[in-house]
Amino acid sequence: MSDVAAPVPAPFPPPPAAKRAFGIGPDGTYTTFGQVLAFVFGLYSMIVFVPMVFLGAILYDRSEAHFPQNPKRARAMVRWSWLSLTVFSTLCGALIWGAVIASQK
């Protein structure tokens, strides 16, 4: 008998998702275009309303873990991360600036 363990086979890559989230490739990672947009919108969110950058990053990070098992949920998480970097950060920034301007009068 040998004390050498049998090699463990490498895991197969997840099957490509039938429907992809915006800026995400079939394997659940950013496309080049998605990377560029994420960088630009991330900088924009940092300038306008910083907490939304963290929310978007957490949502996208969690979606990567869900892509192999539940692509539909992962796409929804990616969609919410894009919204947090674009729409929600703009709305929060506008509300804060509006409150500051209103308090000056």
User: Residues 56-99: pLDDT tens digits?
Assistant: 889 988 988 888 888 888 888 888 998 998 898 889 989 998 99
52 neighbors 89 (Cβ within 8 angstroms): yes
Under DSSP, is residue 3 helix (H, G, I), strand (E, B) or coil? Answer: coil
User: Which regions of 1-105 does DSSP assign to beta strands (E)?
Assistant: none
Tokens, residue 83: 């919204």
- Give me the mean pLDDT over the 22-28 stretch: 76
Residue type, 74: A
Report the range out of 8-12, 26-30, 63-67, 87-91 with the highest average pLDDT.
87-91
Model pTM score: 0.64
- Give me the mean pLDDT over the 94-105 stretch: 90
**Rounded distance between C-alpha atoms, residue 96 and residue 87, angstroms:** 14
Which residues, listed in sequence order, are joined to residue 24 by a DSSP beta bridge? 30
Higher pLDDT, 15 or 68: 68
- Give me the mean pLDDT over the 5-17 stretch: 59
DSSP string, 30-42: B-HHHHHHHHHHH
Helix (H) or strand (E) holding 48, with range, is: helix 32-48
